[in-house]
Amino acid sequence: MYDSHIFCKEYKDLKDQIVDIVNGDTEDYDIDALAEHIQELYDNGEMSSSQYDDLMSYIQDLQ
């Protein structure tokens, strides 16, 4: 399925949040809740597969 036309308004904010976690700039976070939210966006067709794969690769590294 071609889904690169899907624009997720939250993608940049989610990526920034994950980068802050990776860099140690954020200590108060819930990886499971973040992963669940990303999954919901993807399942609801609000996020492209490439965006999903990008964010979830970071999530997997953090788990």
On the question of pLDDT at 35 being above 80, the answer is yes
Of all residues in the chain, what percent carry a pLDDT higher than 70?
A: 90
Q: Say which residue, 47 or 2, is predicted with more confidence.
A: 47
| CA angle (23 as vertex; 21, 28 as ends), nearest 5 | 30
Secondary structure letter of residue 28 according to DSSP: S
Question: pLDDT band at residue 32, thresholds of 50, 70 and 90?
Answer: very high
Residue 41 half-sphere exposure, CB side, CA atoms within 13 Å?
A: 23
Secondary structure letter of residue 2 according to DSSP: -
Query: Average model confidence (pLDDT) for the chain?
Result: 89
pTM: predicted TM-score of the whole model, two decimal places: 0.83
The residue extents of the domains of the chain are 11-62
Secondary structure letter of residue 25 according to DSSP: S
pLDDT in the model for residue 17: 93
**Cβ neighbours for 18, distance < 8 A, ≥ 6 positions apart:** 34, 55, 58, 59, 62
